[in-house]
Homo-oligomer: A and B are copies of this chain.
Amino acid sequence: MGNGEAIERLKGALRRLPGVGPRTAGRMAFHLLERDREGGKLLAQALHAAVADVNHCERCNNFSEHPLCDICKSGKRDETLLCVVETPADLDTIEQAGAYTGYYFVLMGHLSPLDGIGPDQLGFERLLEVVAQGLVEEVILGTNLTVEGQATADYLSDLLQPQSIKVSRLARGVPAGGELEYMDANTLNQAFSDRRTLVESIEGKT
């Protein structure tokens, strides 16, 4: 294309990012080279540092630059609760919501046999080790409510059954602000079957 090899290599490397096709890669390369070379340098450095320094927390498996991540070494959380999530982004979202006070275990994915992701790739053994330490009283399965997330939760539920601890799943139902008119049948049926009692009927009342 008369552009030279360095640009073609850059476009090729950008295409390894998720969701980036040839046109987007071209636009990104153009932007960095023409309008933001400083940004290009910063990105190169940040990538270099992250690839070199970021590993997994020994306890919760989340990304961490240290053997233990900030949450695991805080010592201020409820150690009877362990929430299993798929990704660091899920963990961040739960932390931002602010109500959960226990620890986490991050699977870094979900079961996906077609992609070669089975129990070994998701560190289920390490999860069992954490539970075996005896402090955890309840494992909350916080995987996504997608088909893959549900399958992963079902598998984990079976796996944890012999451990004689409570295993729970995030509630399914109508989201806050949701309008019934626009809910899918699955969600609505689940909301009916899991409905919460607000006032107990008083037997013998007349």
A43 to B30, CA, bound (A): 15
The interface residues of chain A, by DSSP majority, are classed as helix
Tell me the residues in window 41-72 of chain A with beta carbons closer than 8 Å to chain B beta carbons: 41-51, 53-54, 62-66, 69-71
| A residues with CB within 8 A of B | 1-7, 9-10, 12-14, 16-19, 23-24, 26-34, 36-37, 39-51, 53-54, 62-66, 69-71, 87-89, 91-92, 95, 108-109
- Chain B residues near A33: list those with CB within 8 A: 50-51, 54, 63
Q: Are A43 and B47 in contact (CB under 8 A)?
A: yes
Q: Are A46 and B13 in contact (CB under 8 A)?
A: yes
Q: Are B17 and A31 in contact (CB under 8 A)?
A: yes
Q: Are A63 and B9 in contact (CB under 8 A)?
A: no
- Separation in Å of the A68 CB from the closest CB of chain B? 10
Q: Are B49 and A9 in contact (CB under 8 A)?
A: yes
Q: Are A7 and B63 in contact (CB under 8 A)?
A: yes
- Chain B residues near A29: list those with CB within 8 A: 50
Minimum-distance CB pairs A-B, first 3: A16-B39, A44-B47, A13-B46
Besides A4-B54, A6-B65, A7-B50, 16 more A-B contacts (Cβ < 8 Å) are A2-B62, A2-B69, A4-B69, A6-B46, A6-B49, A6-B54, A9-B46, A10-B47, A14-B43, A16-B32, A16-B43, A17-B39, A26-B88, A33-B51, A40-B51, A44-B48
